[in-house]
Structures are given as C-alpha cells and as structure tokens.
Chains A and B, each alone.
Chain A
Amino acid sequence: MLFVISIITFGIFFAAPNDPASLTCGRECTVETLEANRIAMGLDKPITVQYANMVKGLFTDRYYPDDPVLRERAPETVVVCEAPCLGYSFLKQKEVSSLVADALPVTVSLALGAFVLWMIVGVGAGVLAATRRGSWIDRGLVGAALIGYSLPTFFVGLLFLTFISIRWGWLPIPYYTPFVEDPLAWATGLILPWSALAVVLAAGYVRLSRAYMIESLGEDYIRTARAKGVRERSITVKHALRASLTPVITMAGLDLGGLLGGMIVTEQIFGLRGLGQLAIDAVTNVDLPVIVAVVLIAATAYTLANLAVDLIYGIIDPRVRHA
C-alpha cells in the first residue's frame, strides 16, 4: 500500500507544470545555472531512476549532487545524506529527515494531547448520556455533540484563539516547548489547540459510545450481572463499556492516524511549526522531496494506526483472540 502511494505521489509531482529547478535559481538565472541545478537535484534523470534513487536512499547514503568525480575533488561541496535518507530539500538547504525531525515532535504532541482529551471527554460523555438515557443530561450532551460535530475545526480554532487568548487573555497564545525541557510549559502552550481539536473530534465519540453503550446495556448479561448484585459502576465500566469499545477504538485509530499526517488547519491557525506547516511550505514552493516525505509519513501513520486497531481488538475482544 505504502509502495503504491509513494509511486502515485511521485508521479503527480513529476507531472506538475512547475519546474522545481527554476525555483532554486535566483533572479540572475542563466540557462547554464538552471541546467547545473537540475543535474544537482537529479532532475535530469528519467522519473523511474529518480524514484529508484529515492527508495535506495532509505537504505544507503545519498550524495547531493550525485557525482563521484566531484566527491573526490571537492568533498566539501557535496552533501552527504545518511541512511535512511528521505531526500534533500534544495530550497531549505537541509536534509528532509532533519526538517521532519524538527516538525514531528510538534505534530505528535498536538495529536496525542488532543487524543487523550477527546477520548476522555467523548467516551465519558457518551457513557454518562447512555446511563442517564432520556434525562436532560442525555439530551444536553447529545445536542452539544451535534453542534460540535457540525463546527469546522478552523472556526473553533479561530474562535478559541481570538477570544480565549487574544481578547480575554485567559491562556497564552499557543507555542511549542519540547516536553523534555519543561513539561508544564509544554502543556500550557498546547492546551488551546488540544481543546479546539477535542471539541470537534469528541462529538463523534459521544454519539458512537452512547449508541453502543445503550445497545450493550440492553443485553442479557447486564441483567445477569445486576441479578448477581454487581455494583452499578462496575456494570457500566467492566461489562457494558468493554463490550462497546470495539467500534470506538476503530474510529479512534483512524482519527489518530489521520491526525498524525499533519494537522494542516490547526497548525496554521495556531502558528505551530509541525508537519502540516512543513507541508504547506513545501507545496507553495514545490519542494518535491519534502512533499513526498510528508505524504509518506502521513500514509504510514494511517496504516500503522489501522494495524494497531487490529492488535488492540485481540486484547479487548476475546472472540477475536480465539478466532
């Protein structure tokens, strides 16, 4: 799957009308410099060779420009991209892997923090609504979920940023501090984007977990448990919730996998320099190696999340384990 995606991404950009080499060449661009740049970037070779080089770079070192003669005579002009090499961004004069390494922690922090928040809020509210079915709490939560479900991420983000941090100054304007440096600053700096993402994403989980909780609360084994005298809290958590977790986890895996691919909108609004921002920069500048790398990372995250979901099934659902 990843293989097919990498080929398609590569193909699309090769077919793009813009010439990446012309963007690396400044105002006084001559035909010779342009051609030299094109060779340095490896764009003179046919697309299949370019693709093969890219795949090869994942396992061995790559050199830019890939010219053995130059490497011997003037090694300082050749950039060595160590394996696994994702490519070299000529626009930023940096290896793609180092660009990604800078951006990835931001995106992962954003995604994981938001994930924890929206799962707790979403599933918690869903369970609460299901156990108080028909009450005003249930109606309120379902209504709130529907509204949250209908709000676009960028609108919530912009609303939060404008009012909570700029107008009222309740929270600082989001910024990223690495977790290892200062966990507290890491959390306070990201709480706003986390909440914005959680508002939008939790809504689906309220609906889903409520629906499946109601279904499993109506099952016979719940009645049996009640008859045995099991406490209500234990029934809710151990018996009903566990049975209704499977669809929730499926959705969670897909959402998290999708998010890790770069929260373009969220990062854009809050000015956080993660994968999404990296991707936007790369797209506006036709920075091919970076685009390919980001798309591949996103697709890998999605595929891995799918795999993780399948593995978790085995843990929570005994039927899958024995099958």
Chain B
Amino acid sequence: MSESGRTKSVLTQSARVLDPSLSSTVSRTQFGLFLRRLRRDRLTVVAMVVCTIVVLGAAGSPLLQHWGVIDPIGFNSELVKGIGSLPGGAWGGMSWAHPLGVEPGTGRDLLSRIVSGLTVSMAVAILSSLLSLTIGTVLGLIAGLSKGKVDWFISRLIDLVLSFPQLLMLLTLAPVLVGVLNERLHIPDGPPSQIAFMVLVLGAFGWPYPARIVRGQVLSLREREFVEAAVSLGASRTYLYFREILPHLAAPLLICATLVIPQYIAAEATLGFLGLGIQAPTASLGSILNDSVSYASVMPTYFLFPGLVLAIIVLSFNLLGDGLRDVLDPKDNRKS
C-alpha cells in the first residue's frame, strides 16, 4: 500500500470510529465468506449435492430395506429362466419393478443391490479415511513439531510405506490379517470382520499422504508470529498443539478427506474386483462388480451400472475436494 493510501485508510478508519454510519464495508464472518465463494462455484455445488445424496442414500438404505422399498437379498428366479440363467428381456431384464435389471442366476434386483452396497462401500471409505487421517495427523504433528531425529524417523517411515507396492501388499496381507481378526480377536468371519479388514489395510497404507500434508503445514505454522506470541506468553506444549496449531489444520484436512474418500471407494471396488474384501451375498460396489465380471461379455449392463455409479461418486467427491480447495485456500489456485 502506498504512503497516500495508508494515510487515506487511517483517515477513513478514524472517521468510522467517529461516526459508525460512514462505514461502507459489511463485516463478514469466515463462514459467510466461505459460503459466498462457494455460491459462485456452481460445479462444486452440484458435486456437493450429489455427495450429499450419496451419503444420505448410504445411511438410509438399511431403513429402505426395512420398509421393503429395496430388496437386495430376495431371489426372483422366475425372471432368470433364459439361457445360462441370464435374465429375460432386453438390457438385463429392465422393467419398472427392476429399473436397472436383475442379477443373472439369482434374479436379485440390481438397483437394490447397488443402493444397499453404497452403505458398505461408504462405511469402508469413511472409516478408513478417518483412520488414515487420524494416524497421519498425529504422526505429521509429531514430525513437524519435534524436528531432528523423530522427524527423520517418521519421514523415512513415510517413504518406506510409500515405496511398498500397495495393491500387492494388500493382496498378500489379506489372508494374514483375516486370520488374525478371526482367531486372535474372535471376530467371526462375515461382513463386520471383512469391513474391519478393509478399514485396517486401507488405513495402514493410506496415512502417509495426510501425514506429509500435516507435517508440511506444521513446519510452516510453527514459524508464524502467533505461535511465537503464544510461546512468549508461556503457553504449554499441549496448548500449542491443540489450541494454536490444530485449528489451522482443519481446512487442509477437510480437503484431504474429500480427496481421500473417493480413493478409498475406488480402492474397495478394486479389491472387491480382485475377489478380496467384502464377499457376496453382502452387497458392496466391490462385491457387485466382482460378481459381474464373469458376465461382462454376455450382459454388459451388469457391470456397467455399478461401474457408472462408482465413477459418478468418485467424480463428485473429486470435484467437491477441488472446489473446497479453491474456496478454502485461495492462495493455491494453481490447479483451478
């Protein structure tokens, strides 16, 4: 600001103090600013709406099933009497009662299975991102604040986990971990232990990404004036961690979460596709896709619909994450 500009602003400020009605600027809260910026970005709003529908659908599908709106388990064997138990009729047996057709072999309603599969897929994605974000934040905070040996060790640990071929390790770890869950922890084999398994492996390999972000943020935050001010006022370490630094990590972590969740949804589907994780008859996007692979050439709609649902969900979460980054962190506009 130039010299004359500063003088001017000082003058207007003092004028404002003398007479509040002169004030031309409206004061805005942080949240108000956030909403204002968000409203301008229509694509992000659309993505947000889709994500909300997905989350609500995932949360509500057990209720829908209870009320009998969707029926992911009931067989409709009268519909699959074609050759090789393929559903009769065009497009995989599409009808008003079964808008996306039915499964070959069993005749279960595909739309119902996708909707109820969302619950499991979203549960896996949200729980594993919570786990990886928690581990990542804690380790990133420790690394960023303690410098020296501890920082070196955690950074090397991050490099180590990143250099493991992840999918391969997930595949190889699967039998070991499932065994431990079943035998040592007495969790019976079934959807709960399969979900626990997915959350554990995805969390265990996913934490380096948030840890790197948090460490980088902390390294720059700790040099800022407000931290220095708090230290000079005699703030304790815990106060520094929780009250001064952690609140500043909220925005990057929120962005990170929206970008990590779609990765985990896709990862669950990919592992399911390889026959790992959630097993039929429990529906998840992964297990539906795994069932559908063998029918890919004779009944493409069977893998096309869950695949498209998956792609739309991942796309919306990615758009939301990108949008939130632009809105919450206007400095980093490189990727917009």
Contact = CB atoms under 8 A, between A and B. Distances in A.
Given A18-B175, A146-B319, A299-B163, A159 B307 contact: yes
B172 A150 contact: no
Contacts of B293: 158
A252 interface: no
A298 B334 contact: no
Contact of B270 (A152, A161, A299, A303): A152
B242 interface: no
Contacts of B314: 150-152
- Assign chain A's interface to a size class: 35 or more
A153 B172 CA distance: 20
B270 A265 contact: yes
Interface in B148-176: 159-160, 163-165, 167-169, 171-176
Contacts of B303: 155, 158, 162
Interface stretch (A21-29, A56-64, A256-264): A256-264
A265 B274 contact: yes
A309 interface: no
A323 interface: no
Contacts of A167: 297, 300
Which of B165, B270, B293 has the largest number of chain A CB atoms within 10 A? Answer: B165
B168 A162 contact: no
B270 A1 contact: no
Given A151-B311, A211-B334, A265-B273, A295 B163 contact: no
Contact of B163 (A1, A13, A154, A280): A1
Nearest to A259: B165
B307 A155 contact: yes
Contact of B160 (A1, A13, A214): A1
Interface string A146-180: 11011111110011011100110000000000000
Contacts of B159: 1
A167 B163 CA distance: 39
Nearest to B176: A16
A264 B296 contact: no
Nearest to B299: A162
Contacts of B270: 152-154, 265
A12 interface: yes
Contacts of A264: 167-168, 171, 274
A151 to B, nearest CB: 5
A279 interface: yes
Given A152-B311, A211-B334, A264-B171, A298 B165 contact: yes
Nearest to A291: B172
Interface of B: 159-160, 163-165, 167-169, 171-176, 179, 183, 262, 266, 269-270, 273-274, 289, 293, 296-297, 300, 303-304, 307, 310-311, 314-315, 318-319, 334-335
14 contacts: A1-B160, A5-B160, A150-B262, A152-B269, A158-B293, A158-B303, A207-B335, A261-B168, A265-B273, A265-B274, A280-B171, A283-B174, A295-B165, A295-B169
Given A5-B163, A146-B315, A158-B303, 7 more contacts: A1-B159, A146-B319, A152-B307, A261-B168, A265-B167, A280-B171, A294-B168
